[in-house]
Amino acid sequence: MSLHSEIHEQPQAFRRLLSAREEIQRITDEVQRRAPSYAFLAARGASDNAARYANYLWGAYNRLPVALATPSLFTYYNQPPSLKDALVVGISQSGQSPDIVAVLEEGRRQGCPTLAITNAPGSPLARCADFVLEILAGPEKAVAATKTYTAELLAMAMFSAALAQDGTRLAELEHVPAWSAQILELDGTIRDMAQRFRYMAHCVAIGRGFNYATAFEWSLKLKELSYIVAEPYSSADFQHGPIAIVERGFPVMAVAPGGQTFDSVLELLKQLRQAYKAELVVISDQPEALELAQSPIEMPSGIPEWLSPLLAIIPAQLFCYHLTQARGLDPEMPRSIQKITETR
Amino acid sequence: MSLHSEIHEQPQAFRRLLSAREEIQRITDEVQRRAPSYAFLAARGASDNAARYANYLWGAYNRLPVALATPSLFTYYNQPPSLKDALVVGISQSGQSPDIVAVLEEGRRQGCPTLAITNAPGSPLARCADFVLEILAGPEKAVAATKTYTAELLAMAMFSAALAQDGTRLAELEHVPAWSAQILELDGTIRDMAQRFRYMAHCVAIGRGFNYATAFEWSLKLKELSYIVAEPYSSADFQHGPIAIVERGFPVMAVAPGGQTFDSVLELLKQLRQAYKAELVVISDQPEALELAQSPIEMPSGIPEWLSPLLAIIPAQLFCYHLTQARGLDPEMPRSIQKITETR
């Protein structure tokens, strides 16, 4: 029962990482001194989804553009780009995948500041970085990442607030453990709700802005655990073509917390439910969005938008866990995949 | 019959754009003078898939890192990142989508060099750019982009070779129209092949490196035209979790031309066919990859890897066109979508 208990360990894991705030401030002070023009991030799998959060968060709050790395340029093509003026960041729970390590090594060779965000401070990734932001999630035994994913998000959120020396946001971070504990109380409700999707063959997951990451991670968990073909989209990209796949009853998983992008996601959800008669699972703190869903999942109110990805993924994790059990599959032993995937 | 004829117009469209080589050299000379540290690219839909090609190509051959923009930072969040040292590029067939225009306007406001790659030189996007690379594809009437997608790729390939003043690659570009004409002769073969997939409900599309873009575009066409849930992956990302969805008979569309990443894609295809008993459609010029496929699509030999995305997508376009007809759907009138999508 590692997976279910690791989902429930998230409040503790958050608390542990929040206690490292001074160490993170020390790292951001050093990074500030190097004044990078942009961040160059390398990651795979769930960590790559976490990187999408940084893409928005660091852009919006730190004015730092983020380029997501294409690791094959560093491995197969052996023609790495010039990383002048970049902060080079590798994100990996295990710190083992050779392609991610190769990106950091190249950054180091080119004289860039390098940062590893990892749960494994003794890993090859950590060993080649100037700065190591240890996410302190504790051992994760389940193949599917849950608490290491949200700890990576929290690490990036703490990094952002510390870099900006933003007192308001630094204070808001302290509420994350309590909010997450409150969300975990939905466990039984979500178990009942998941039954309806026992025979779902495919779906899409929709989110926008900060929660684009949540759409990616929800769909990754659906694939890894429940073997459902689930494709993530921003609500904007979905309208540039893919929306054609939606027919009556087509299942859409949506992450729609209040905030700057809420109106755009809400508009799409209205269209999907009212015009296309889609089937909606909606995670939100907004009644207007929840009312549109056949399966509404209500988040606590008062969570600021920039922290919503750390919390909105938790009901999605529970949903995937219970759906996997409803389908008669073993959430602890997903077929075909291992805990550590080493790609070049 | 716009779609089918537009697919067949690609050799002409390539020839037209190749004749603009001097204008493109003039643009790259100006860009060179501004010496950007990286490129910041904004695009949606098929143009966003084209942007993925630049991500690899400009990184590998011009040492220029590419950041794919997150337009909502510029529209909903209204907190655009600092674009210091960036070349800001907007890619859009129509040049109309307000979010893409907003990114270029912000680049201009911040004093960055700005480049529009578009089929519409009088569009809002072109009007706010320092440099306009007109793709000269001619009017595209079908809702699904085909010749404007490949013309965008060719524009980026010409930009790359001109920027590097690479005589070998400039010469290789001249063969693209002839290769594309040769591939179009596969039309009848692919029509027959597509029948087998009449009842396919979902699939994945796999490519890596330069052809990561091709996997995205193939899957977008499957969704837009045939309403099939088709998710694109790099062969590396696919192994970090999603491979769990593959069961006996699961359909995989693969783009596997010879080149630096071929061995890694081949290894995955072997595993998919031999261990997982997947159903493979493979576009390749390599016998080892073609032999693994129940449905092999053979490309002409001698195409250099960096140009393969311009050509490997053509049989995929034909495949989607014929599959759409086989499913009794109208490829000229896909449901729910329009030619110009305006998102914020």
Distance CA B99, CA B111 (A): 19
Closest listed residue to residue B342, CA positions, set B105, B147, B98, B27: B98
**pLDDT for A341:** 78
Domain check: are B249 and B164 in the same one? no
Residue A288's H or E segment, with its range, is helix A287-290
The answer on pLDDT for A23 being more than 90 is: yes
Distances (CA, A) of A118 to A151, B131, B231: 9, 42, 28
Helical H segments across B75-202, by residue range: 98-109, 124-127, 147-164, 167-173, 176-184, 187-194
Same-domain check for residues B47 and B193: no
pLDDT digits (tens, 9 = 90+) for B62-92: 999 999 998 888 888 878 899 999 999 999 9
Residue B216 covered by a domain: yes
Residue B40 one-letter amino acid: F
**Are both A193 and A124 inside the same structural domain?**
no
Rounded distance between C-alpha atoms, residue A254 and residue A208, angstroms = 10
Spell out, as residue ranges, where chain B has pLDDT lower than 50. none
Contact (CB, 8 A) for B293 and B280 = yes
pTM (predicted TM-score): 0.93
Look at residue A331 and tell me if it is in a domain: no
In a domain, A220, yes or no: yes
Q: Which of B147, B174, B201 is the last residue of a domain?
A: B174
Mutate to test the interface with B, among A100, A148, A223 (most CBs of B within 10 A): A223
Burial class (CB in 10 A: 0-12, 13-18, 19+), A335: middle
Mean pLDDT value across residues A6-13: 98
Judge whether A111 and A125 are in contact, CB under 8 Å: no
CATH of the domain at B306: 3.40.50.10490
Q: Which residues of B does the annotation mark as catalytic?
A: 339
Q: Is pLDDT of A336 > 90?
A: no
Q: Does any domain span residue A168? A: yes
User: Would A112 be classed as within a structural domain?
Assistant: yes
Same domain, residue pair B189 and B219: yes
Is there a single domain that holds both residue A205 and residue A300? Answer: yes
- Report the pLDDT value the prediction gives residue A9, as an integer from 0 to 100: 98
B201/A202 touch (CB, cutoff 8 Å), yes or no: yes
* Same domain? B159 vs B189: no
Same-domain status, B38 and B66: yes
Average pLDDT over residues A157-161: 98
- B-chain CB neighbours of A68 within 8 Å are 67-68
Give yes or no for a contact between B103 and B56, defined as CB atoms under 8 angstroms apart.
Answer: no
Residues A68, A98, single domain; the answer is: yes
Q: What is the DSSP letter of A272?
A: I
Q: Tell me, what's the pLDDT at B343?
A: 78
Closest to A128 measured CA to CA, from A142, A107, A156:
A107
Q: How many H helices and E strands in chain A? A: 15, 10
* pLDDT-derived band at A268, boundaries 50, 70, 90: very high
Instruction: Provide the domain count of chain A.
Output: 2
At residue A36, the pLDDT reads 96
| CB-nearest partner of A242 from B223, B247, B260 | B223
C-alpha A176/C-alpha A13 separation (Å) is: 11
CA-based angle B256:B146:B236, to the nearest 5?
30
Residues A19 and A150 in one domain: yes
Instruction: Write down the pLDDT at residue A12.
Output: 98
pLDDT of residue B127: 97
| DSSP code for A294 | S
pLDDT at residue B316 in the model: 98
Q: Give me A148's structure tokens.
A: 């290491």
Q: What is the predicted pLDDT for the residue at A344?
A: 76
Q: Does B35 touch chain A (CB under 8 A)?
A: no
What does the alpha-carbon distance between residue A90 and residue B300 come to, in Å, rounded to a whole number? 39
> pLDDT tens digits for B231-247?
999 988 898 888 989 99
What percent of chain A has a predicted confidence (pLDDT) above 70?
Answer: 100
A336 in contact with chain B, both atoms CB, cutoff 8 A:
yes
Give the residue numbers spanning the domain of A211: 178-326
CB contact under 8 A, A59 and B46: no
Encoding tokens for residue B264?
Answer: 């890694």
Stated length of chain A: 344
Q: B45 vs A83: CB contact, 8 Å cut-off?
A: no
Q: What is the mean pLDDT of residues A2-29?
A: 97
Residue that finishes a domain, picked among A126, A150, A174:
A174
Q: What is the pLDDT of residue A31?
A: 96
| pLDDT for res B337 | 79
Output phi, psi for A211, to 5 deg: -95, 10
A337 part of a folded domain: no
The answer to whether position B341 is within a domain reads no
Positions of A marked active-site: 339
pLDDT at A213 over 90: yes
Domain-embedded: residue A340:
no
Best residue of A203, A245, A327 to probe chain B, by most B CBs closer than 10 Å = A245
Percent of chain A predicted with pLDDT > 90: 89
For A263, residues 6+ apart whose C-beta sits below 8 A from its C-beta are none
How many C-beta atoms lie closer than 10 Å to residue B263's C-beta?
A: 13
* pLDDT per position as a tens digit, B187-229: 999 999 999 999 999 999 999 999 999 999 999 999 999 999 9
Give the span between the Cα atoms of A55 and A313, in whole angstroms: 17
> CB within 8 A of B220, min separation 6: which ones?
A241, A242, B45, B46, B49, B232
Take residue A264 and report the two structure tokens written for it. 């755009």
Give percent of chain B above pLDDT 90.
Answer: 89
Last residue of a domain, one of B140, B174, B208: B174
For residue A77, pLDDT beyond 90: no
Statement to judge: residues A211 and A69 lie in one domain: no
- Is residue B158 located within the same domain as residue B232? no
ipTM for the predicted complex comes to 0.88
Same domain, A92 and A115: yes
